[in-house]
Amino acid sequence: MNLITFTEAGLFCSLGQFYIDPWKPVDRAVITHAHSDHARYGSKHYLCHTYTKPLLQLRLGEGNYQAIEWGERININDVVMSLHPAGHIIGSSQVRIEYKGEVWVFSGDYKTENDGLSGQFEAIPCHTFITESTFGLPIYKWEKQETIYDEIRKWVTQNMEDGFSSVLLAYSLGKAQRVINALEQNQNIYAHGAICNSQELLINQGWELPSVQRITVDTEKSALKKSIVIAPPSADGSSWMKRFSPFRVGVCSGWMQVRGNVRRRNADAGFVLSDHADWDGLISATAATGAEKVYVTHGFQSAFSRYLNEKGIDAYEVKTAYGQEEEDEGKETKIDTP
């Protein structure tokens, strides 16, 4: 039985009459996480994880939000729905749907390595698994995050010695918090407004995160000399960056695995740090669910589904409107405080 169908407006559970991460306004939306390609404006009722709610309020403004905990079971018209940690960003969740013993899980975006903020990804046993595939090719294999953090720290130190500021481009919700944590021992980390907004909101919510200095028109240029600056990818190449001169740019993204992308971004350094599962992560997560049937969404869906089929798993590719933004070549819409 199809517990989820793929419709014009997004993933739809007709038995429960709700959508998951719809890309059009609907009556009831279950939201996996607060990135804007998954959490869109205009639905009448949103249900999400407790940690996600304030982030949704920040992005989408006031509205009708319901928050639940991981593992909490919600009954909607005979369907049991629950959220489970996805390890992608703070509050990110997988959606489990059960109806008369049949279980489907939608992964949302996920990564299998625990980043210390987003919770440990849990593989949920199910009959049908709907998985993302952002990095669904075997060329994408991540180093342990500590190794990457070390690289970032070394790069920052070298830049300071050479008299340069270090501008690190990281998505403002998720990656930025990880990078700021990794650089915690440094004094005075400066950040772009979009990143400050997320950071301050999370601190106010009780997250133990280092505070960062907001860069404003009044920030003294002298204070920015040889500094560390965290900025969203959209700031790259903008006139906003000029105040940091001389500076070097480091891009933190899974796409930096391929040299051509580093060169195209004109980055001085690329750090392969991702909030998505790598190839091995996708395979192990999919296998651990024990699913007989797998739908593969955004990313390298045709390659990953073909691979799964070769391994004897019934897999199909699905076209969605996800992945348009976040790690997609570093495009990002601004997060503004309403």
Write out the residues near another protein by the rule CB under 8 A: 137-139, 141, 255, 257-264, 266-270, 300, 302-303, 306-307, 310, 329
109 touches 88 (CB < 8 A): yes
Q: Which is nearer to another protein, 180 or 262 (CB)?
A: 262
Q: Which is nearer to another protein, 221 or 259 (CB)?
A: 259
Nearest distance, CB of residue 87 and another protein, angstroms: 23
Nearest distance, CB of residue 269 and another protein, angstroms: 7
Closest CA to 131 of 310, 7, 16, 284: 284
Nearest distance, CB of residue 302 and another protein, angstroms: 8
Nearest distance, CB of residue 336 and another protein, angstroms: 24
Tokens 């959508």 belong to 19
Q: Which is nearer to another protein, 104 or 247 (CB)?
A: 247
Nearest distance, CB of residue 162 and another protein, angstroms: 10
Nearest distance, CB of residue 36 and another protein, angstroms: 17
Q: Which is nearer to another protein, 260 or 338 (CB)?
A: 260
Q: Which is nearer to another protein, 139 or 223 (CB)?
A: 139
Crossing angle for the helix pair 145-162 and 175-182, to the nearest 10 degrees: 60
Q: Which is nearer to another protein, 138 or 290 (CB)?
A: 138
The rounded distance, in Å, linking the Cα atoms of 95 and 87 is 13
The rounded distance, in Å, linking the Cα atoms of 312 and 22 is 31
Give the 3-state secondary structure of residue 70: strand
DSSP state letters, 185-243? TSS-EEE-HHHHHHHHHHHHTT------EEP-TTS-TGGGTT-EEEE-GGGTTSGGGGG
Nearest distance, CB of residue 109 and another protein, angstroms: 19
Q: Which is nearer to another protein, 232 or 270 (CB)?
A: 270
How far is the CA of 148 from the CAs of 46, 240, 254, in angstroms? 36, 27, 11
List, in order, residues 6 or more apart from 18 with CB less than 8 Å away. Answer: 12, 26, 28, 29, 30, 47, 76, 81
**70: which strand partners?**
83
The rounded distance, in Å, linking the Cα atoms of 113 and 111 is 6
**DSSP class of residue 125?**
P
H-only helix segments in the chain: 52-60, 145-162, 175-182, 193-204, 259-264, 279-289, 301-310
Q: Which is nearer to another protein, 82 or 133 (CB)?
A: 133
Nearest distance, CB of residue 151 and another protein, angstroms: 12
